[in-house]
Amino acid sequence: MNEPPASPVDRAFDVLRVTAAGTGLTLSEISREAGLAKSTTLRLLGALERNDAVTRIGQRYRLGPLVHELDPIPASPAYERTRRVLTPFLAHLFEATRATVHLATLHGDEVVYLNKLHGPRPIPSPSRIGGGLPAYCTGVGKAMLAFDDAAAERVSQGPLVAWTDTTLTSPDSLAMELAEIRRRRRAVDRAELTPGLYCVAAPVFDDDEGGTSGTRAIAALSASAADRSALTRLEPLVTRVAAAASRAMATTEDE
């Protein structure tokens, strides 16, 4: 019995499966892997993007918010404690900077955003509460990878997709960057995921050592800007608030 011809819905699912298999694919890559013409692939991606099934960052596509809503990051007591204790510090960081600010943690090789605050004119950003983004090209992600050897090793062995011209795409360059972050206790995103979006981030620990004894960062705080020159003003504010947040995590009992 002959198989019926593929319907538009079938082809849309083919495109979605290909997108899900990558960490960020171009139109050409998705078209080739799905076995579809570029014009057809572009039309299907447009429909998927309008429905939040995929999201486009620059010239690359990845799974969108709808997928995270259908298969959300599992809730955990650790995540809830981190969100509960650190959200007041996120609010303080927003008041001090009036910038878009994030609270994130690691989930596998991605960052998960536990909270986000922004003013009336937010900078366009792919981050969303409950959603994930690659750790190696975000400020919060690099701030945590620098203090999590196992996660850093996993990420360095995986594909390091070039989202922008400034994305770190070699294990050696990422390792050098993480060593610098450990030294300075802060990370900078130089528009490595989204063109024109810069941020500074700092790790948060849950012990009194503050990362000096190889302890793992459990979260990170960041502030974003559309102008790289603004990072100079944001750096001391972010690192100071993150240090205070670490002290709070170390002294707050689990519920």
- Six-digit token pair at 27? 């139109």
Distance of CA 138 to the CA centre of its chain: 5
Position 51 confidence tier, pLDDT thresholds 50, 70, 90: confident
Q: Give the best-scoring range by mean pLDDT among 56-65, 154-163, 173-182.
A: 173-182
pLDDT, mean of residues 11-34: 85
Task: Please name the residue ranges forming H helices in the chain.
Answer: 8-21, 27-34, 38-50, 65-70, 77-97, 139-145, 149-157, 171-184, 231-251
Gap between the Cα atoms of 74 and 119, Å rounded:
29
pLDDT at 63: 78
| pLDDT for res 1 | 47
Mean pLDDT, rounded, for 161-184: 95
Is the predicted pLDDT of residue 192 greater than 80, yes or no? yes
* pTM score: 0.80
pLDDT tens digits for range 140-169:
999 999 999 999 999 999 889 899 999 999
Out of 106-115, 120-129, 139-148, least confident range:
120-129
* Two structure tokens written together for 217: 């960062």
With 0-12 CB in 10 A as exposed, 13-18 as middle and 19+ as buried, what is 203?
buried
